[in-house]
Structure 1
């Protein structure tokens, strides 16, 4: 059974970090703001995402099914929810979460999840005031996202709200060659969804497997994070109608030897950051804002699965890469990092993804 853990703050210096994973990033510049890492909750199994409600409650989901709330006083509560139709296998299951911008008044949130009908769906829920339960209110809000029914591979699925109130949905290509360049498919895309009606617009295409979406505050810029095949994980600055160049259609097969951004596609938009070889398995991402973050103010931080850590990217006003480095306190110290979410409490939250009931929800703050 899960239980709340006594807060344990681990202040780690780069010199004592465990050995970094493959494709390790450059170390943090000397004098970079030190961070504190606190274990908020343990005993989780493949937690996929976390959101922080205005009252301070943290809601985390697990890929195989289930929601858990950590209340502001530290109480841990299993959240009842109807997940009887959840299809969890391979890389697909209960995945991305997002809180409605009007959550304080409507108690509404969204999940992206595999369904037994053979598709991936976005479902809208309302939360009970005491976080004892979630109730479906749009079932689904969006259906018809493709699912690889044989393996669950490349199911996406990240949710984030755009500055104008549209719900963004990052999807995977389901390891099907024609999908990412097919404007009639919802796979391998970033979608804009009206959260009130479920109306869907294909915003960008040519993606492999979108694992992260991050909005840069005050700019309107939205960045996607996705996995490459054997090289070139990418961070992309999204533009309406943009094609990001993934085209693995090998005469009906799934040809992963092609480049992540195919220069043969007219107007294909290059990534603002690429891992090169080997891949790091980039995942969830968020921007850090506020003077308390010191050197991290304005930096995009990205969870790394294979490389088992967090990558920091400093980007120019135009989105171009200025600097990259590994966050030392999370470099090989807590395993695979799946999701990162900035809270309004001056912290960011991370979920680990190693399985076997050993995963954690972490709270990361600037060291005072």
Structure 2
């Protein structure tokens, strides 16, 4: 058991220093590059493994055999079985959703399927979304799945490593946030639903690779973070029909050292509300709303892969007030979620992947 001490600063109106102490407990290990997790009503946890397996982990750490019926995935670089989400009516309909890199010959793209989870297997599996077009390469698939309060499903995508402005074009799904109904149909109030030159599923565009998404507990708005190139990881609150600039604007540079204009607004793009340079490689994202850590209420927690730490951001409305880094120089954190017990749970990105639990000391 590892004891971590952390502290943070409240807004000026409540300025005082509070000491937060917490324990980190190992719940389970031996997962093969875990990527996403979702808590079921019985307290068990669905966890995806990037190698193409879905498992159930009990609160006491028992790992199930792989669930049968998972779709075939491209396991290459950043590709594989990615996120998992429960249908809002899961208790009655047993529906779950999976995002993954779907192969087609030598090409692939992000796809989302839904199926019924019954007795350790997936039944009636159906693909409800496919990113178009499929392209070569194994990077920048996205992808997080999150339901909005109105019952629609947000899917975050990547640019598939393309730097030829495809994320700026509305006739494809490259570098986009997608909004669909749970059955895959398109909501009538999507911003481009009446534009014959645009994909009707698009919510926002100009994104690079979005691997974190969360719904703000008070406003109900979608918050995301996305990987920058050499620096310039961003947090955005994507609004319908808005353009977030990639690859025309970024606070990072191309990997070959060529600079990118960092002026978003002057080019007609939306400015991020927060960014990191150098890059921390963010992954996973959740607003904390529980009672175990009252000092952390409404904080935004984000895992860091390259940074090897956990980020806590104090937020107010649409602003990030300050940043704290926890568990520094430890592990690559792929996902972070709040459990039904109000503890924080972390997945580590490694071949012997771990599920960790943070509780108050």
TM-score by length of 1: 0.84
Per the alignment, do residues 261 and 109 of structure 1 end up closer, same or farther by CA in structure 2, a change over 3 Å counting?
farther
Please name the residue that 2:156 is paired with: 170
Of 337, 340, 345, 1:344 maps to: 340
Contact 2:221 2:237 in 1 (8 A): yes
Of 13, 20, 24, 2:5 maps to: 13
Contact 1:245 1:260 in 2 (8 A): no
Please name the residue that 1:274 is paired with: 275
In 2: Cα distance, 1:28 partner to 1:365 partner = 17
Contact 2:38 2:45 in 1 (8 A): yes
In 2: Cα distance, 1:145 partner to 1:71 partner = 37
Please name the residue that 1:218 is paired with: 218
Please name the residue that 2:322 is paired with: 323
Residue pairs, 1:56-95, within 5 angstroms: 56-72=43-59, 74-83=61-70, 85-95=72-82
Matched pairs, number: 332
1:137 aligns with 2:125: yes
Contact 1:212 1:224 in 2 (8 A): yes
SS at match of 1:292: coil
The superposition leaves residues 46-92 of structure 1 with CA deviations (integer Å, 9 ceiling, x where unpaired) of 11101101111101111111011113464321232334631111111
SS at match of 2:242: coil
In 2: Cα distance, 1:63 partner to 1:258 partner = 32
SS at match of 2:151: coil
The superposition leaves residues 267-296 of structure 1 with CA deviations (integer Å, 9 ceiling, x where unpaired) of x11111111x21111111000013431211
TM-score by length of 2: 0.86
Please name the residue that 1:24 is paired with: none
The superposition leaves residues 163-196 of structure 1 with CA deviations (integer Å, 9 ceiling, x where unpaired) of 1111100000112122211111112111101112
Offset of 1:10 from its aligned partner?
Answer: 2.5
Offset of 1:352 from its aligned partner?
Answer: 0.6
1:240 aligns with 2:234: no
Offset of 1:259 from its aligned partner?
Answer: 3.9
Contact 1:227 1:281 in 2 (8 A): yes
Per the alignment, do residues 112 and 145 of structure 1 end up closer, same or farther by CA in structure 2, a change over 3 Å counting?
farther
In 1: Cα distance, 2:178 partner to 2:71 partner = 26
Per the alignment, do residues 290 and 341 of structure 1 end up closer, same or farther by CA in structure 2, a change over 3 Å counting?
closer
Where structure 2 has 5 or more consecutive residues not aligned to the other structure, the ranges are: 10-16, 187-199
Per the alignment, do residues 86 and 182 of structure 1 end up closer, same or farther by CA in structure 2, a change over 3 Å counting?
same
Where structure 1 has 5 or more consecutive residues not aligned to the other structure, the ranges are: 1-8, 15-26
Residue pairs, 1:124-203, within 5 angstroms: 124-128=114-118, 130=119, 132-138=120-126, 140-149=127-136, 151-176=137-162, 177-199=164-186, 201-203=201-203
Question: How big is the alpha-carbon RMSD for the aligned residues of Structure 1 and Structure 2?
Answer: 2.2
Contact 1:50 1:349 in 2 (8 A): no
